[in-house]
A and B are shown apart, each in its own frame.
Chain A
Amino acid sequence: MTSRDLILSKIRAGLGAKANDAERQAIVQNRIAAKARHLIPARVTNRTPGELLALFRGFLERESATVLELDSKQEIPSAIANYLRSNNLGARIRVGGDPTLTQLPWGSEPHLEMLLGRAQPSDEVGLTQAAAAVAETGTLVMASGPDNPVTLNYLPETHIVVVEQRNLVPAYEDAWDVIRQRFGPQSMPRTVNLISGPSRTGDIGGRLVMGAHGPRRMCVIVVRDPATS
């Protein structure tokens, strides 16, 4: 008997259940298929897009992230240049292959150097695009893929994330629906990272310090949805 069989039979014995119980199997299959939501907090129910954005921003700022709101993606290069300059940060930015990021007017900021591909441990600034964002707790949803190396979210000291306001959803459950639309009803990419601020630890003397292993600094650029302005 394999360990697998042993464990499953012990579980069934403990539950007083039989193998191949069609009724029990149906319960499990139905529950998974239903993807039923439980409770969605009132803080994000029946909110306007403007309210969700304000909520989202408030949480991130509380976690020491910077939030910039832009009217169009075209403004991203200059917004990033300003951010890096005003924080005395370097001008080399690692970006994945995402064309919606690489094909922005970077020429308008010629001193910025764009590096492509997966992150290197010495990268100082990383730029990624979020698949979605959750207003409930100021959380970004990053999906790994050919244009989105997962290491880009963790290795660079400064992490700049672009998210479109139309992908800002109220609750985590709404974000899963975005993922489902993109990847299929039950499929996931290698990683989905829910990120709610820069890396931190309180492990030394109970004092909170940023940049434990992941990024020390986070800048979230929200591209407003013209339809909601």
Chain B
Amino acid sequence: MSSILPGAPRVGLFVTCLVDLMRPSVGFAAVKLLEQAGCSVEVPLAQTCCGQPAYNSGDKADAAELARQTIAAFAGFDYVVAPSGSCAGMLKLHYPRLLANDAEWVGRAKEFAERVYELVSFLVDVRGMDAVDATFQGRATYHDSCSGLRELGIKDQPRRLLSSVKGLQLSEMADAEVCCGFGGTFAVKYPDISNAIVEKKTANTAAVEPDLLLAGDLGCLMNIAGKLKREGRNIAVRHVAEVLAGETSDPPIAGTK
């Protein structure tokens, strides 16, 4: 762990419900990277879910309550960083819209939004990181999660950092920017259509014959990994933070070794 200088920016880690429940190693990889970037990291306990399931289901009331809870939990931090483009997008773009008619909270929501970043774009765009000190022997390919790409402009940043990983060969898949079919509640409500979409993603992934598939969002990763496993394809799936932090000793998503 690198030494954190006094006066280092205080980052509140927004863990995300999926990282918290399914794959904490992503959270620890994020902390490691943030500390490497010279930040001190804290993890407020009063955080749970960003409210996206409620928001995208049309339940504005619950979504707004969760938004207020989240904003309050992260008061006082210099930055709020999430290892997820979809959650970061929710916090950064949608919280101010959600609370636009709440005179008491709209200002706080906008101020909060300015401090919110997705992990990899924070490292590159805010902390100026252009390389990581990690090694991975093998070929990897990258899926661009929709929210991260289209709401937050995340495209080059993960690739830039991945290109500095020693031994890693990055191969682009066809249609890397096309949705994987997760869409949060969509995968549950329209599973057959979701399946048709993810099948195209796994086919495109397999076509570049990678050892590893990476992305910045656990929802996408769980969806694609689950399909790869059902198809019997031998491709490991991890969150990009794990590789960038050099933390690849845990089994990959849906894997055992």
A and B touch in the complex (CB under 8 A): no
